[in-house]
Amino acid sequence: MKPLDIGSVRDSIDKADARVLSTAIYREVGFFVIRGAIPMERILQWQHEWSRFYEDRLSKSRSVDPFNPVHVHEVLPAALAEIHQCPELLDIMQELYPDLALFMQRFVIKDRNSRTPVFVHNDFCYDYGWPEKTTVFIPLSVSNKENGGISFYPGTHHFGYLGDAGEVNTEIIGPEWPLVCPSLEPGDIALCHTCTWHCSPPHGGGPDRILVQATFQPASDPSSTALLRGEWRTRYHLSDLPRDKFFVRSRSTRLRELQAQVNQIEGHVCLDAATRA
């Protein structure tokens, strides 16, 4: 298999790290780092809220999904749940989407429960609605190669949806394709297209890596959960409905059925062994 070549995208990678967003470079590269985008007084307030929340709610027992241990499932206090509404952030995102909506916001952290790497993937196969979505990573700690910082494969959003969900095969792009792990300080943000391949290395030292992940999209997308700026441009609101009711039967429901069958068979085997003992 001859791997794909990155081509002219390589020339734009260094330009995707600046104090001001270039929407043209973002659309070319699939990610963009903006330095000093969030005022420090806001960061200090969020860091204070996070420390209190972590100490009170997470430090002793955090609900950890073994398949995605970085995701914080506990309900956030309002000051943290509303980080995506920060006006400086909305001003930037409106440059991409004048009628601006939210898809979702969550925290993805690397603490003592989640030091392992995150495999290479893109997010769109786990989302729904339209693929014009931009995730903004907002670090409340430093985020770099040492503490498991978010890392991007430039240009890979041009591939679109790959037909399945999971760990992508980097052999199709080959070893020459660059992987960029920006060193982010609190106040910096990183924009990432939902189809851009990304991953993170293991946490090998330094402070816990604390990232807010907020995904924005045009207000024409029916999967939107809130209008943030401008006007609604969709006639339907799928997010009013439970997502797990969209399919009568699907790959996901089939996997759950098969797992239930396996559990039942294993239960029978255990019961047989116990009966024989």
In the complex, the residues that contact Fe ion under the rule CB under 5 A are 123
Cβ atoms of 183 and 33 within 8 Å: the answer is no
Reduced 3-state DSSP string for 165-212: CCCCCHHHCCCCCCCECCCECECEEEEEECCCCEEECCECCCCCEEEE
Residue among 50 and 152 whose Cβ is closer to Fe ion: 152
Q: Quote the least distance from Cβ 21 to Fe ion, whole Å.
A: 21
Q: Quote the least distance from Cβ 121 to Fe ion, whole Å.
A: 6
Q: Quote the least distance from Cβ 199 to Fe ion, whole Å.
A: 8
Please report, to the nearest 10 degrees, the dihedral formed by the alpha carbons of residues 238, 242, 246, 252 taken in order: 130
Residue among 26 and 197 whose Cβ is closer to Fe ion: 197
- For 244, the token pair is 């797990």
Count of alpha carbons within 13 Å of 9, Cβ hemisphere only? 21
Neighbours of 187 (CB within 10 A): 18
Q: Quote the least distance from Cβ 98 to Fe ion, whole Å.
A: 26
Residue 199 to residue 180: CA distance in whole angstroms: 10
Residue among 28 and 123 whose Cβ is closer to Fe ion: 123
Reduced 3-state DSSP string for 67-78: CCCCECCCCCCH
Q: Quote the least distance from Cβ 261 to Fe ion, whole Å.
A: 30
Residue among 123 and 208 whose Cβ is closer to Fe ion: 123
Q: Quote the least distance from Cβ 3 to Fe ion, whole Å.
A: 22
Residue 170 to residue 132: CA distance in whole angstroms: 23
Residue among 10 and 106 whose Cβ is closer to Fe ion: 106
- For 72, the token pair is 């914080």
Cβ atoms of 15 and 85 within 8 Å: the answer is no
Residue among 42 and 121 whose Cβ is closer to Fe ion: 121
Residue among 91 and 167 whose Cβ is closer to Fe ion: 167
Residue 12 to residue 127: CA distance in whole angstroms: 28
* Integer angstrom CA distances of residue 3 from 153, 158, 178: 14, 15, 13
Q: Quote the least distance from Cβ 153 to Fe ion, whole Å.
A: 12
**Nearest residue to Fe ion, scored by beta-carbon proximity:** 123
